Chain A
């Protein structure tokens, strides 16, 4: 079965950086399309980044220029490098597998990694 396991969260100071990783299994990762979605405490879901199987990348305006998504097909993983962090980036970050046909919905989600930006 599909499994997505995020790691790398924690407490980081404003202006600092952190790298999240998502280990994938149960499907052919190199053929997959992946996204990161975040949820601030007590708030709703916010899509923030996407990477296709061929490397096409999109970012939400809120993170563009600060966050970098990448993938390593040899390690079946997708990562999110988060730079210039602000208090407003405090959230649980979910890795999700995008449907492989129309690329429009998230068919599987990881359990999330909490990032807290605070001094």
Chain B
């Protein structure tokens, strides 16, 4: 089955950029979707199809995908961005939806 790998944690100072990686075998050939989840809350769609933002999501959030790594970038981190971030793909070989293990973003 397809596996997505994320760093367990990323720390960044307010106002600085943050990058969260999502690794997978030839992930660049797949569409990657990102969610964030604040403590005690349900996940929220953040980025879909590698780099598209749903309405209501700040332009500070962007995504890219190439080769074996997809990346979620937050251009200027705010305290309110502290959350868990998950990448996700659909595995067409199994008709399964696959999540990465999640990355906890800490704002210093």
**Cβ A45 vs Cβ B33 within 8 A:** no
A104–B99 CB distance below 8 A: no
Query: Is B42's CB under 8 angstroms from A107's CB?
Result: no
Whether B88 contacts A105 by the Cβ 8 Å rule is yes
Contact: A58 with B45, CB < 8 Å?
no
Taking a contact as CB atoms closer than 8 A, the residue among A50, A61, A94, A107 that contacts B45 in the complex is: A107
Given known contacts A45-B86, A104-B90, A107-B54, A94 and B101 CB-to-CB distance under 8 angstroms: no
Question: Is B69's CB within 8 Å of the partner chain A?
Answer: no
- Do A35 and B99 touch across chains, with their CB atoms under 8 A apart? no
Is there contact, CB below 8 Å, between A105 and B99? no
Asked if B101 contacts A99 (CB within 8 A), the reply is no
- Chain A residues engaging chain B, CB cutoff 8 angstroms: 35, 37, 44-47, 50, 58, 60-61, 94, 99, 102-112
Chosen A-B contacts, 7 in total, with CB atoms closer than 8 Å, are: A44-B84, A45-B88, A45-B99, A50-B97, A105-B31, A106-B33, A106-B35
